């Protein structure tokens, strides 16, 4: 990358993110506590909604997780339309089907129940309802919705994406396999329903990958160039909690305290990265998810330590701070040694939770496209600690390929 290009990107980021302090950032209203999910019918009714759409996936329907919600809706006399066609890495055609259902049934608001995919689908549906003359593709990028969307009650059933508090909806074009984000302040859900009881039955693999997803959000946000103080604190608290509780929840899924702590860690990490942004881990993960349908949390878990290694000394002081807080560092170590210990701990956690270290799905013919998409997503919006060019991104992709 030419020096003039780097200077131009940094100048743009300086003014954009200083200007971002003036934007109307908000947090969702939190509905929290064991069993709060079952009170959602009364809450929806109290907010003036009597006809809503419920967006979820067939996996949650199959295990009957939403039965208490349906019962609560009926008891509160709230009409609902069920859309359970959400796929991992939500597809644009599925989103359009949901938009058609929403309009046909005269819905007023949305309840999204699930991991990141149902919540991202709900946000994209809301964006299309708010801006009916714009396609999903036309709203890809930053601040291209700019209109109030229908209210969303976001109910995370995994502790990872933080989508219940973020500005992002990640979507995938089924034909091109291009995976990208719609980013807009109007996509932040007004309500976040945090019920740890919904997480008790999560399989170990889902617990691991979603937990590492949250860790990636916190670490990436922490090493961005410009971090408001509240984001710094949120990242630190999230990292400490994830290192302390993720493996406990992985080994014993019924540990309700670990589930609660991870749920709040995911929320805090989402709060931070929606304001600070991420680095190159996410753009690379999006290309792998879009091309090969790899779960997003797994992609982040694998890629994170490789990118942290690649950034080098530029981020050592910040990783050293996280290592100190998480109890990973040793007395007398330099910042570089602490940073390397922190990265090594991420790799150890991945191994202990039986997550892979590389991907055998990456094909030579796709690498040029992966680099192109990753660069287009990252530049100029992401406040990466080190600006990389296409050749350097290619090196990272080759490192993560088995």
Q: Which fold has domain 26-199?
A: Rossmann fold (3.40.50)
Could you please report the per-residue DSSP string of 27-55? -PEEEESTTGGGGHHHHHHHTT-SEEEEE
Q: What are phi and psi of 368, to 5 degrees?
A: -60, -40
What b/e string do you get for 250-262 counting C-beta neighbours within 10 Å, with b at 16 or more?
beebebeebbbbb
- Residues 80-115 pLDDT 10s: 999 999 998 899 999 999 999 999 999 999 999 999
* Degrees, nearest 5: CA angle 56-137-80: 25
Tokens in use for 6? 């780097």
| Type and span of the H or E element at 156 | strand 151-156
Specify whether the CB–CB gap between 270 and 164 falls below 8 A: yes
> Can you tell me the distance from the alpha carbon of 269 to that of 288, in angstroms, rounded to the nearest whole number?
22
Specify whether the CB–CB gap between 320 and 335 falls below 8 A: yes
Output DSSP code: residue 148: P
Output DSSP code: residue 20: G
Indicate if the alpha-carbon torsion angle 136, 137, 140, 146 is positive or negative: negative
Residue 227's Cα: distance from chain center in Å? 18
pLDDT given for residue 396 in this prediction: 98
How many helical (H) and strand (E) elements, i.e. helices and strands, does the chain have? 16, 9
pLDDT given for residue 2 in this prediction: 84
pLDDT given for residue 173 in this prediction: 93
Instruction: From 285, 291, 264, 305, select the one nearest 366 (Cα to Cα).
Output: 291
> Can you tell me the distance from the alpha carbon of 296 to that of 88, in angstroms, rounded to the nearest whole number?
9
Specify whether the CB–CB gap between 117 and 57 falls below 8 A: yes
Whether residue 380 has a cis bond before it, omega within 30° of 0: yes
With a cut of 70, list the residues of the chain below it in pLDDT: none
> Can you tell me the distance from the alpha carbon of 283 to that of 297, in angstroms, rounded to the nearest whole number?
13
Instruction: From 312, 386, 277, select the one nearest 17 (Cα to Cα).
Output: 277
Output DSSP code: residue 287: H
> Can you tell me the distance from the alpha carbon of 79 to that of 107, in angstroms, rounded to the nearest whole number?
9
pLDDT given for residue 89 in this prediction: 87
Specify whether the CB–CB gap between 315 and 385 falls below 8 A: yes
> Can you tell me the distance from the alpha carbon of 163 to that of 267, in angstroms, rounded to the nearest whole number?
8
Q: Indicate the domain borders of the chain.
A: 26-199, 202-400
- Residues 265-279 pLDDT 10s: 999 999 999 999 999
Tokens in use for 337? 């040694």
Q: Which SS3 state, helix, strand or coil, does residue 319 take?
A: helix
pLDDT given for residue 1 in this prediction: 79
pTM (whole model) above 0.85: yes
pLDDT given for residue 201 in this prediction: 86
pLDDT given for residue 172 in this prediction: 94
Q: Which fold has domain 202-400?
A: Dehydroquinate synthase-like, alpha domain (1.20.1090)
pLDDT given for residue 392 in this prediction: 97
């Amino acid at each position: 990358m030419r020096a003039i290009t780097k200077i131009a990107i940094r100048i743009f980021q300086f003014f954009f993110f200083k200007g971002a302090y003036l934007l109307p950032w908000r947090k969702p209203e939190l509905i929290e506590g064991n069993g709060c999910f079952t009170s959602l019918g009364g809450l929806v009714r109290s907010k003036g909604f009597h006809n809503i759409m419920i967006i979820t996936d067939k996996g949650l329907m199959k295990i009957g997780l939403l039965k208490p919600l349906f019962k609560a809706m009926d008891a509160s006399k709230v009409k609902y339309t069920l859309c359970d066609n959400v796929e991992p890495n939500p597809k644009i055609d599925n989103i359009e089907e949901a938009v058609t259902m929403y309009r046909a049934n005269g819905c007023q608001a949305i309840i999204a129940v699930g991991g990141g995919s149902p919540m991202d689908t709900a946000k994209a549906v809301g964006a299309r309802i708010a801006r009916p003359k714009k396609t999903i593709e036309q709203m890809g990028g930053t601040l291209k919705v700019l209109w109030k969307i229908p209210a969303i009650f976001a109910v995370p059933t995994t502790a990872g994406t933080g989508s219940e508090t973020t500005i992002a909806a990640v979507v995938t074009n089924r034909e091109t396999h291009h995976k990208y984000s719609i980013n807009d302040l109007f996509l932040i859900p007004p309500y976040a329903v945090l019920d740890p009881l919904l997480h008790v039955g999560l399989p170990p693999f889902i617990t691991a990958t979603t937990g590492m997803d949250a860790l990636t959000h916190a670490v990436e946000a922490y090493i961005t160039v410009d971090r408001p103080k509240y984001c710094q604190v949120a990242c630190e608290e999230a990292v400490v909690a994830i290192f302390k509780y993720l493996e406990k929840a992985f080994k014993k899924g019924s540990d309700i305290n670990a589930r609660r702590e991870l749920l709040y860690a995911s929320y805090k990490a989402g709060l931070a990265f929606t304001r600070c942004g991420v680095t190159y881990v996410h753009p690379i993960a999006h290309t792998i998810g879009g091309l090969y349908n790899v779960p997003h949390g797994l992609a982040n878990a694998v890629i994170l330590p490789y990118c942290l290694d690649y950034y080098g000394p530029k981020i050592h002081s910040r990783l050293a701070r996280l290592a100190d807080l998480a109890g990973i560092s040793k007395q007398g170590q330099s910042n570089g040694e602490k940073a390397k210990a922190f990265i090594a701990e991420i790799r150890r956690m991945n191994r202990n939770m039986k997550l892979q270290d590389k991907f055998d799905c990456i094909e030579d013919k796709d690498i040029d496209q992966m680099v192109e998409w990753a660069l287009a997503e990252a530049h100029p919006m992401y406040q990466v600690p080190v600006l990389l060019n296409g050749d350097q991104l290619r090196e990272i992709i080759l490192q993560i390929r088995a």
